[in-house]
Structure 1
Amino acid sequence: MNTAHSPAPLLSVRNVGKRYGDRVALQGASFDLWPGEVLAVVGESGSGKSTLLNAIAARSAPDEGTVQFRQRNGELQDVYAMSEAQQRLLARTDWGFVHQNAADGLRMDVSAGANVGERLMGLGERHYGKLRSTAMEWLQRVEIDAARIDDAPRTFSGGMRQRLQIARNLVTQPRLVFMDEPTSGLDVSVQARLLDMLRQLTRQMQLAAIIVTHDLAVARLLAHRMVVMQRGRVVESGLTDQVLDDPQHPYTQLLVSSVLQP
């Protein structure tokens, strides 16, 4: 990825904060995300990673700060100045959201094909043959046997469900996908396969992504840049290899050393 040719950021986050009663969950979070860039948000449980992701993805309005997304016409628009209908349209077209638990991002009792085709129908596609062929193509892209197109996700393994959720999100060719701990709870071999697939898809589609993870290996494999969070604040940010190989903040140093210890 080369951001030098990108004239402007795709997403601009400035001083985003969130409180729950007296507890400060997020404070002063700021960063830019460029087209085609993968950004990892790392930190231990309770560091504010998911709060930040939900605030950026218009799932939980922040108490302060701004989140701006560049529309296809080039205009940078405040996400929270949009109407609910505009936010919903954005969420099912230019954005995707991959949940940690695939069941939260799928309709478990309808077929795999219907799960993938549903987002296309939301954009007005009504031709059954086209919906089915596109769904089949996407199942194959995420390494699910096309013969399973009429099977419900509840009959799938955890790894297959997660891959189906990814297909459901990517079928509308979004420009930005949010991922909340996408490999958490999966077996190591299943994780590796999923990560390899995600890396290929983000590159092929020039897809920007924000990935929340507590796993530094996931960040190193997938992300161009990363931000490190502690107690609701961004304490360090930079190129992924740079941050992991030469961490500057004591908390980042602790995170890296704890991973490296036998």
Structure 2
Amino acid sequence: MSDMPLLKVRSLSKFYGNRIGCHDVSFDLWPGEVLAIVGESGSGKTTLLNCLSTRLMPSTGDVQYRMRDGDYRDLFRMSEAERRVLMRTDWGFVHQNPADGLRMTVSAGANVGERLMAVGDRHYGRIRATASEWLSRVEIDTDRIDDQPRAFSGGMRQRLQIARNLVTSPRLVFMDEPTGGLDVSVQARLLDLVRGLVSDLGLSAIVVTHDLAVARLLSHRMMVMKGGHVIEHGLTDRVLDDPREPYTQLLVSSILQV
């Protein structure tokens, strides 16, 4: 890991009128590190993810991102055009519903190829070869390259969305409930795939999930949220094996009883 954080979050808050989305969140994310944000529905974890990924403007606080030249930039002082470039190149975003992250009416190959074109590749043969290679990496038969995502199963769509996001070698990937809505057996294969890719590519990732098993498998560090506040934060194994806060203890025990 680099000796400089990739992301520096300071006093980040988002309010919806009198309602707290998230409040006073601060942390650093390091290169190659996976952070899980966990909590029940309504805990604020998705609001926080949307602020971090600039899909939502925070009410207060700032997020500094270390660019490839080593300089930090305040994400919310960037122009809209600069943020769009970042989202197409340095970042990925994996949605819970793959249809939100794919173009459902173009082929699987085109879904992956579009990201390559966004970073300037114009060679059709090379784009198709790279798309084919990535389909194989996410365990989609390469003879499906011309099929549209709507012909795929839910698990295949999610794997295609991951290929679309990772083909440009991003440094940071945001994942919003990446295994939500999938059968348990499909979830297990997807998690193995994601864990391998994150490790192989040295990615940093921020994963929002209500599933503590997903957090344990994927993340190095974990933040537990309740009512918009981070109530516990630490190494994933420590938080799950020795939770300090009563709410975290309750979350962990409820999983163990299932």
**TM-score, length-scaled by structure 1:** 0.98
Q: Which of residues 113, 121, 146 is equivalent to 2:142? A: 146
Alignment-derived partner of residue 92 in structure 2: 96
- C-alpha distance in 2 between matches for 1:255 and 1:53: 20
Identity of aligned residues (%): 70
The answer on 1:231 being equivalent to 2:227 is yes
Shift of 1:83: 0.4
Matched, 1:174 2:174: no
- From 11, 16, 22, give the equivalent of 1:20: 16
Find runs of 4+ consecutive structure 1 residues off by over 4 angstroms: none
One-letter amino acid of the counterpart of residue 217, structure 2: L
Mapped pair 1:111 → 2:98: no
Distance 1:41 1:92 in 2: 23
Q: 1:49 aligns with which of 42, 45, 57?
A: 45
- Alignment correspondent of 1:219: 215
Match for 1:260: what amino acid?
L
Does residue 76 of the first structure (1) align with residue 92 of the second (2)? no
Note if 1:164 corresponds to 2:160.
yes
Give distance in 1, aligned partners of 2:138 and 2:35. 21
1: CA distance between counterparts of 2:84 and 2:106? 22
CA-based RMSD of the aligned residues comes to: 0.6
Distance in 1 (alpha carbons) for counterparts of 2:97 and 2:16 = 24
Q: Which amino acid aligns with 2:218?
A: L
* Matching residue within 50, 63, 66 for 1:67: 63
Residue 25 of structure 1, CA deviation = 1.1
Q: CA deviation at 1:9?
A: 0.4
Structure 2 partner of 1:198: 194
1:62-92: CA deviation from partner (whole Å, max 9, x where unpaired)? 0000011100111111001100000000001
Which residue in the other structure is 2:204 paired with?
A: 208
Paired residue secondary structure (1:16): strand
Cα distance, 1:20 vs. partner? Answer: 1.0
Shift of 1:52: 0.2
In the alignment, what sits opposite 1:35? 31
What CA distance in whole angstroms lies between the structure 2 residues aligned with 1:67 and 1:44?
A: 24
For the residues of structure 2 that align with 1:157 and 1:244, how far apart are their CA atoms?
A: 32
Query: Separation in 1 of the partners of 2:153 and 2:64?
Result: 37
Aligned residue type for 1:107: R
Amino acid across the alignment from 1:100: Q
Q: How many residues align?
A: 258
Q: Distance in 1 between matches of 2:14 and 2:160?
A: 32
Q: Tell me the distance in 1 between the aligned counterparts of 2:242 and 2:20.
A: 29
Q: Equivalents in 1 of 2:146, 2:38: separation in Å? A: 37
